[in-house]
């Protein structure tokens, strides 16, 4: 159902229908922003990546292969853009790889929000490959097959990366005294 | 120590990735191995914990930034009414040609909507003469990002006129009110471009429209009689959807001289 609606909206977008564009962006912008935020740990960078993701998706819409889901296409761009942003940041030494922005949103003042901040810190300690599978599984609710499509890796690799990433997260959360 | 295959089976079970045969196999493993049960329980808790982390709200205005940054393949570059007028030389010779020839630039009010003080023919005249060489300055802007609607309203100064340039798009029906009461300006002309509003009304102070989809239109304003300068005043805007106000704001004239 979701796929059919996406396909119809995409066709309308190709005809220049901006209302369809608005609809399509609204469907995925929050998830793309959150995925980028979990990859980067910084809301400003995540906002930039979200904007770039949609711009690139629509600039290259002719290259979109409809045999894949639209969200796979857009999440792939988002993950790649996030990784590019991490590399750029590391090159220019703007933020340490393991540092999480101290810019806490209003939701992070609460207990749950503080835990979210700690989880973010642990995520930042994972390498990009491991972080990406955790983000796609837990923050965009993708299946193994979808994660494989997005990252262009076999499902077997998805499983092993996810297993390894979770083990690292479990150990690091426990060492921070976080109960789960 | 459980082996790698068992770990993978347990993880797939926790992630809801097993078919019936896989679920049956996992059931057997959990029945027979305490270590598998411990591993399974730990993974269930970790996965549940990560799934429960709340999403972060998007920064205000990001939606509008995204949408406005995208040019669709067949979409023409957004032009203001003045750019359209300037790009069509015939228009310089009379507005009669505008409605007939171009676009959808249509003076679309009728006298009943406008009330007794307004005159459609005078509005038309105001639009034609000084435009081609006129300089345009953006005085203020207002971004609409509410509900299923987004867009941009700019207040532009064009020599002898102030222009409110409105470009919105809404998936659902919307109403927009432009209140001139606090502006010291009078409505001189109204034109739609590439749009078809459902309703248009003006009571002498408040200009109201409703519609859905993409709507582009402009209001051309001039100072009231005897005034050559607009004071520290503003134009108020109210956006409604389904009868409820979803956003409001104002365009600050900031003492702009016209």
Q: Which of A44-58, A119-133, B196-210 has the lowest mean pLDDT?
A: B196-210
Higher pLDDT, A14 or B86: A14
pLDDT digits (tens, 9 = 90+) for A72-97: 999 999 999 999 999 887 776 655 44
Q: CATH 2.60.40.290 spans which residues of chain B?
A: 62-252
Cα(A126)–Cα(B210) distance, integer angstroms: 51
Q: Where are the domains of chain A?
A: 2-175
In the three-class reduction of DSSP (H, G, I as helix; E, B as strand; rest coil), residue B214 is classed as strand
B119 touching chain A per CB within 8 A: no
Tokens 């009728």 appear where?
B110
- Closest residue in B to A31 (Cα) is B55
B60 touching chain A per CB within 8 A: no
Nearest Cα neighbor of A151 from B15, A159, B51, A29 is A159
pLDDT at A112: 60
Measure CB to CB from residue B45 to each of A22, A43, A180 and give the nearest one: A180
B62-252 maps to CATH 2.40.10.340:
no
Mutate one of B4, B9, B56, B73 to test the A interface: name it (highest A CB count within 10 A). B56
In degrees to the nearest 10, what's the CA dihedral of B195, B196, B198, B203?
A: 70
Residue A139 with chain B: CB contacts under 8 Å = 53, 55
Please enumerate, as own/partner, the contacts of B39-43 that have beta carbons within 8 Å and a separation of 24 or more. Answer: B39/B2, B39/B7, B39/B10, B40/B10, B40/B13, B40/B14, B42/A170, B43/A166, B43/B10, B43/B11, B43/B14
Residue B95 in tokens? 């507005």
Cα(B174)–Cα(B145) distance, integer angstroms: 12
- Closest residue in A to B48 (Cα) is A180
A positions 66-95 inside 8 Å of B (CB): none
Residue B72 with chain A: CB contacts under 8 Å = 13-14, 16-18, 21, 58
Contact A124, A38 (CB under 8 A): no
Per-residue pLDDT of chain B in tens (258 residues, 90 and over written 9): 789 899 999 999 999 999 999 999 999 999 999 999 999 999 999 999 999 988 889 998 999 999 999 988 654 444 455 554 444 433 333 333 333 333 334 444 433 344 333 333 334 333 333 334 346 677 888 888 877 788 888 888 877 788 898 988 887 888 999 998 888 888 888 887 766 788 888 888 889 998 888 788 889 888 764 444 445 588 999 999 888 888 998 898 875 544
Residue A47 with chain B: CB contacts under 8 Å = 58-59, 62, 65
B172 touching chain A per CB within 8 A: no
B94 touching chain A per CB within 8 A: no
CA atoms within 13 A on the CB side of A82: 31
Cα(B134)–Cα(A79) distance, integer angstroms: 47
- Closest residue in A to B62 (Cα) is A47
Cα(B198)–Cα(B195) distance, integer angstroms: 10
CA distance B250 to chain A (A): 24
Q: State whether A18 and B169 contact (CB < 8 Å).
A: yes
Q: State whether A170 and B59 contact (CB < 8 Å).
A: no
B204-216 CB burial, b ≥16 within 10 A, e <16: eeebbbbbbbbbb
Measure CB to CB from residue B65 to each of A19, A51, A113 and give the nearest one: A51
In the three-class reduction of DSSP (H, G, I as helix; E, B as strand; rest coil), residue A37 is classed as helix
Measure CB to CB from residue A34 to each of B56, B150, B214 and give the nearest one: B56
Which of these CATH numbers, 1.10.1380.10, 2.10.25.10, 1.10.1740.10, 1.10.3300.10, describes A2-175? 1.10.1740.10
Q: What is the ipTM of this complex?
A: 0.86
Measure CB to CB from residue A61 to each of B48, B73, B214 and give the nearest one: B73
B positions 145-164 inside 8 Å of A (CB): 148, 150
Residue B56 with chain A: CB contacts under 8 Å = 33-34, 37, 43, 46, 105, 107, 116
């Amino acid at each position: 159902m979701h796929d059919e609606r996406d396909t119809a909206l995409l066709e309308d977008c190709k005809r220049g229908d901006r209302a369809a564009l608005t609809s399509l962006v609204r469907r995925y912008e929050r998830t793309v922003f959150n995925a980028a935020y979990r990859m980067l740990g910084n809301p400003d960078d995540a906002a930039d990546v979200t904007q770039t993701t949609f711009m690139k998706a629509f600039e290259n819409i002719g290259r979109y292969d409809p045999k894949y889901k639209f969200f796979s296409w857009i999440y792939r761009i988002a993950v790649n853009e996030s990784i590019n942003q991490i590399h750029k940041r590391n090159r220019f030494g703007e933020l340490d790889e393991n540092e999480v922005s101290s810019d806490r949103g209003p939701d992070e003042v609460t207990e749950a929000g503080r835990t979210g901040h700690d989880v973010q810190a642990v995520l930042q300690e994972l390498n990009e490959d491991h972080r990406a599978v955790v983000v796609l599984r837990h923050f965009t609710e993708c299946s193994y097959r979808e994660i494989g499509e997005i990252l262009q890796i076999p499902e077997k690799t998805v499983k092993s990366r996810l297993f390894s990433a979770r083990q690292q997260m479990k150990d690091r959360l426990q060492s921070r005294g976080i109960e789960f | 120590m459980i082996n790698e295959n068992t770990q993978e089976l347990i993880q797939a079970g926790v992630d809801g990735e097993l078919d019936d045969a896989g679920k049956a196999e996992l059931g057997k493993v959990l029945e027979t191995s305490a270590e598998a049960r411990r591993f399974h329980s730990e993974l269930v808790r970790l996965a549940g914990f990560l799934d429960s982390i709340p999403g972060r709200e998007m920064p205000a205005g990001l939606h509008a930034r995204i949408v406005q940054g995208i040019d669709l393949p067949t979409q023409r570059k957004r032009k203001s009414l003045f750019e359209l007028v300037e790009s069509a030389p015939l228009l310089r010779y009379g507005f009669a040609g505008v409605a007939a020839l171009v676009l959808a630039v249509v003076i679309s009010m009728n006298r009943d909507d406008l009330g007794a003080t307004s005159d459609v023919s005078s509005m038309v005249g105001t639009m034609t003469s000084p435009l081609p060489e006129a300089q345009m300055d953006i005085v203020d802007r207002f971004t609409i990002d509410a509900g299923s609607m987004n867009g941009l309203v700019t207040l532009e100064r064009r020599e002898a006129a102030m222009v409110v340039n409105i470009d919105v798009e809404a998936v659902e029906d919307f109403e927009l009110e432009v209140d001139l009461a606090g502006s010291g300006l009078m409505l001189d002309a109204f034109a739609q471009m590439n749009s078809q509003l459902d309703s248009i009304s003006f009571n002498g102070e408040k200009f109201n429209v409703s519609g859905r989809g993409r709507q582009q239109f402009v209001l051309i304003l001039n100072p009231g009689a005897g005034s050559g300068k607009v004071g520290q005043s503003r134009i108020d805007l109210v956006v409604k959807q389904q009868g409820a106000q979803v956003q409001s704001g104002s365009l600050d004239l900031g003492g702009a001289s016209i």
